[in-house]
Amino acid sequence: MKLATLFTRSFCLLMAIGSSVSAQADSYDSSIGVLQLNLVTVGLDKYIVQLRLEDDGRLKILSAVPAVYTKSTFSTYDSNSGRLSTTVIDIDGDKYRGIFQLDSSGTHFTLLNARTGTDTDGDGLFDNDEGEGDADGDGLANYLDSDSDGDGIEDYIEGDRDSDLDGVIDSLDTDADGDGILDASEGVLDNDNDGVANYIDLDSDGDGTLDVDDNDWNGDGKSDDLDTDGDGISNREDSDDDNDGIQDSRDFDVDGDGIVDGSDADSDRIPDALEGIVDTDLDGIFDYLDADDDGDGVPDLLDDDSDGNGLSDSRDSDSDGIVDDLDYDDDNDGIYDSDDDDIDGDGKIDNPDSDSDGIRDSKDSDDD
C-alpha cells in the first residue's frame, strides 16, 4: 500500500495538527516504506522516530532515538490519549498532516484524520492555518511571513500549537506561554536545561518560582528590574537588553557580557539552539553533541570554520558585531538566512531553491 493512498482514503475526516520545516524535513521514503519524523515530543522527552507502512495500512514503530529541541519544529505524541499528531510530511510531492492512534498492540499506529494543503512560505504551516492577516504589521501576510508575530522566533520553530491555551497559535502569539514576558525577550534558549525553550517555559531558570513572579526569570544572577542598556526600559520588558540591535530571542549573549547564554551540550561555545539536530560531517552525532561538527580533526572550540562551509566563523558579513555563525541574518537585509538566497550579501546566490518548490535548499530535504 502507498502512504499517499492511506492519507487520501475517502473515509478520512481531512483534518490534522502539527508542523515541520527544518534542517531535516520530515519525509516518506516510498522505496522502503519508511516515514521519518525528525522530532516527536512526548511530554518533556524528544525523539527521532521511524515508522514503516505495513500491508494492512498501519504504521509500525521501527525506532525512537532521543533528540533535542533546537532548530526543528515537532510532531507531538500524547501518552494519555495515544495520539500522534504529525508534522507536514512530503509524500510524492504532496504535503500532508495527520493524526494517528496507537492501537492495543502498543507498536502500531492507525490513521484517524488527514488533510493536504499549501505552504507558500515553506515554514511548515499550511496557508489556511496562518491566514491572510499581518500579526506583526510588517506588510507581509502571515502565510508569506517566516516570523509572523515578529518576535524573532521563526514560525517553523513555534509551530501551530497553543502553549497557553489562549486561542492564538504560538507562531502568531507574542507571549506564547502567557507569563507576561514577551517571547522576543525569552527566546529559544533553555536556561534550566529541562528540554523546554524559555519562550514556552513557565519557570525558565528552574528555581521553583514562576517567571511571572521571578525578578530573575532567566537565572543569570541579575535582577530583571535592572536596565542593562540604560534605555529606560527594564530588562523584563526590554526585547533587546544590551541594545546591540539584536532581539534577545535571537541573541546568544543577551546581556552583552561576552559569554554565550543558554545550553551548550558539547562545550564548543556554539549554543545548542544554533547548531541544531543536523549532522554536518555525517558521523552519526548531531552537531549540538559533536565537538568537531565538520569532522576535520580540529575541535569546534579551536576551529575557525567549524561547519566546514569554507567561510571563517569569525566573518561578520554585515559588520553588526555578531559573527555570521551566530547571526540569523548575516547580511542584515531583514531576511532570515534560512529564507535568503544570498545569505552573505555578496551578490552571489548561495542558498538557492534548486527544485523551484518555494523552499530554500537549507530547509529542503528534497531539493532536486
What is the pLDDT at residue 100? Answer: 93
Q: Answer yes or no: is pLDDT of 275 > 90.
A: no
The rounded mean pLDDT for the chain is 76
Higher pLDDT, 361 or 157: 157
Chain segment 345-364, per-residue pLDDT in tens: 777 776 666 666 655 555 44
- Strand, helix or coil for residue 329: coil
Q: How far apart are CA 325 and CA 290, in angstroms?
A: 16
Q: Are 89 and 97 in contact (CB under 8 A)?
A: yes
Whole-angstrom Cα distance, residue 214 to residue 347?
A: 47
Give per-residue pLDDT as tens, 277-331. 556 777 777 676 777 877 777 777 766 666 566 666 666 777 776 666 656 677 7
> Is residue 262 within 8 Å of residue 272, measured between CB atoms?
yes
From the CB of residue 31, how many other CB atoms can be counted at a distance below 10 Å?
A: 6
| E-strand stretches of the chain | 27-29, 34-42, 45-53, 59-66, 75-78, 83-85, 89-91, 94-102, 108-116
What's the gap between Cα 259 and its chain centre? 23
CA distances from 112 to 7, 23, 91, 261, 281 (A): 9, 28, 18, 42, 38
Quick check: pTM over 0.75?
no
Span 15-67, pLDDT tens digits:
222 223 333 457 788 888 898 888 788 876 778 899 999 989 899 999 988 87
Residues with Cβ < 8 Å from 119, sequence gap 6 or more?
Answer: 21, 88, 95, 125, 126, 127, 358
